[in-house]
């Protein structure tokens, strides 16, 4: 995005890409449908950025969700609003958008250099690369990503190249969590989804679904509470959450349905009378085997879920932490490195899934490009 802003203004731009091909993380983001932005009001939209909303909001408003849709249209990729309010290209995949974008940039004479891993600056202030080559730039935009999905190119190694810059530690965001399942539960239910549930954590309740994994849980509902759960784990070593396995039914109605089970097994009662899926039945039995002596209806409506750690950066969707806002001026230029700008997940912000991640990456890339133009005069 920074390259597009600069090249459109007539600046000669070279994009150095660490990987053998461009846009790998964008392609991964579009694997199940490229959720490029969201259609909710800007007030709600900006609030999704939490502590970073104050400084991100003006950048997002300058390249708004509506503008992103117009930009996609201009690349021959019209978009649509899904039932959840999320916005997708009609083609759904990222590859047609990426191809059209690269063709536009090539038409603007942007030069691409792949397999180019930045390794800092030399004594003359030139950009230095791992193969020993150097490049003299009038201005530089660093867009090196966070540290999630490192096999796609962004592994967070850039933090060592900016020792004089305050960087909040890179942590997993929109990530799965570890749960101490019994071996029996893990072996039987790993890979199975829990649908139409809600999860509560730190006073927040999120409806959705999650996936049982060998080591814990992941999925949309979990990702939505990942920031709060991660902070609780960092402070207390554990995040005490709960699941409502039947959020569509109140506790009294559920208790009435479960009453008088007779000689039926607990599994049959839970399946027939409470309408629970096999994996939800397994969760109730797991809790009872762990010694939770609570009424079954209570367990169904408030199943304890004890998160003991994150699943790590390798599988996290995004990254929290990064270059602290105070290190950047209003144009996203590093105060300690005049002429060097930063954008995207390198910066200290996080957001839930739903289009907010790509929106902020595009908006900060645009802002950095505008900042370079101001710097170059």
If you count them, how many residues does the chain have? Answer: 377
* 99 φψ region: left (φ > 0), alpha (ψ -120 to 50), beta (else): alpha
38 touches 359 (CB < 8 A): yes
Confidence of residue 263 (pLDDT cuts 50, 70, 90): confident
The HSE-up count of residue 182 (CA atoms within 13 Å, CB side) is 13
Which pLDDT does position 168 carry in this prediction?
98
Q: 144-172 pLDDT, tens per residue?
A: 999 999 999 999 999 999 999 999 999 99
Task: From 317, 292, 366, select the one nearest 60 (Cα to Cα).
Answer: 366
- Rounded mean pLDDT of 194-206? 96
- 138 pLDDT higher than 90: yes
**Which residue carries 């809790």 as its tokens?**
287
For residue 239, the SS3 value is strand
> 255-276: string of b/e by CB count within 10 Å (b at 16+)?
bebbeeeeeeeeeebbbebbbb
Its pTM surpasses 0.85: yes
Q: How far apart are CA 301 and CA 331, in angstroms?
A: 49
Q: How far is CA 280 from CA 70, 129, 193, 210, 357, in A?
A: 43, 52, 9, 11, 31
Domain ranges for the chain: 2-172+319-376, 177-310
Looking at the chain, the whole-number percentage of residues with pLDDT higher than 70 is: 99
322 touches 346 (CB < 8 A): yes
> 295-321: string of b/e by CB count within 10 Å (b at 16+)?
ebbebbbebebebebbbebeebbbbbb
Q: 322-342 pLDDT, tens per residue?
A: 999 999 999 999 999 999 999
Q: 62-106 pLDDT, tens per residue?
A: 999 999 999 999 999 999 999 999 999 999 999 999 999 999 999
Which pLDDT does position 315 carry in this prediction?
87
Q: 166-188 pLDDT, tens per residue?
A: 999 999 999 999 999 999 999 99
Which pLDDT does position 32 carry in this prediction?
86
Take residue 254 and report the two structure tokens written for it.
């559920």
Which pLDDT does position 262 carry in this prediction?
67
- Rounded mean pLDDT of 226-255? 96
Which pLDDT does position 261 carry in this prediction?
62
- Rounded mean pLDDT of 316-324? 96
For residue 185, the SS3 value is helix
Q: How far apart are CA 31 and CA 305, in angstroms?
A: 29
Residue 316 CB contacts under 8 Å (≥ 6 apart), including other chains: 148, 149, 172, 173, 174, 175, 176, 310
Mean pLDDT, the chain, integer = 96
Q: How far apart are CA 257 and CA 239, in angstroms?
A: 31
Which pLDDT does position 223 carry in this prediction?
95
Q: Could you name the CATH architecture of 2-172+319-376?
A: 3-Layer(bba) Sandwich (3.50)
């Amino acid at each position: 995005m920074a390259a597009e802003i600069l090249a459109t203004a007539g600046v000669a731009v070279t994009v150095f890409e660490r990987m053998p091909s461009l846009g790998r993380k964008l392609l991964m983001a579009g694997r199940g449908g490229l959720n490029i932005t969201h259609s909710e009001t800007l007030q709600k939209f900006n609030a999704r950025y939490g502590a970073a909303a104050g400084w991100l909001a003006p950048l997002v408003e300058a390249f708004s969700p509506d503008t992103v849709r117009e930009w996609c249209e201009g690349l021959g990729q019209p978009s649509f609003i899904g039932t959840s309010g999320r916005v997708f290209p009609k083609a759904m995949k990222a590859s047609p958008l990426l191809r059209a974008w690269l063709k536009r940039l090539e038409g603007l004479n942007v030069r691409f250099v792949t397999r180019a891993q930045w390794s800092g600056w030399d004594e003359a202030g030139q950009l230095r690369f791992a193969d020993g080559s150097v490049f003299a730039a009038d201005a530089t935009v660093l867009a090196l990503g966070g540290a999630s999905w490192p096999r796609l190119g962004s592994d967070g190694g850039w933090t060592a190249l900016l020792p004089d810059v305050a960087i909040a530690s890179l942590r997993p965001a929109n990530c799965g969590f570890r749960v101490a399942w019994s071996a029996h539960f893990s072996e039987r239910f790993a890979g199975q989804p829990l649908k139409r549930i809600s999860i509560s954590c730190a006073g927040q309740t999120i409806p959705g679904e999650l996936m049982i994994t060998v080591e814990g849980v992941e999925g949309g509902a979990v990702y939505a509470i990942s920031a709060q759960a991660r902070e609780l784990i960092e402070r207390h070593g554990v995040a005490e959450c709960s699941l409502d396995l039947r959020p569509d039914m109140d506790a009294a109605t559920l208790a009435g349905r479960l009453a008088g089970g007779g000689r039926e097994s607990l599994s049959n009662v839970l399946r027939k009378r409470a309408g629970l899926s096999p994996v939800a039945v397994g969760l109730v039995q797991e809790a009872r085997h762990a010694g939770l002596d609570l009424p079954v209806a209570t367990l169904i409506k408030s199943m304890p879920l004890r998160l003991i750690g994150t699943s790590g950066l390798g599988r996290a969707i995004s990254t929290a932490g990064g270059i602290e806002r105070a290190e950047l001026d209003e144009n996203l230029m590093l105060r300690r490195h005049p002429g060097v700008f930063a954008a995207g997940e390198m910066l200290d912000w996080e957001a839930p899934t739903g289009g907010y991640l790509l929106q902020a990456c595009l908006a900060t890339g645009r802002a950095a490009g505008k900042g370079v133009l101001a710097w170059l005069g």
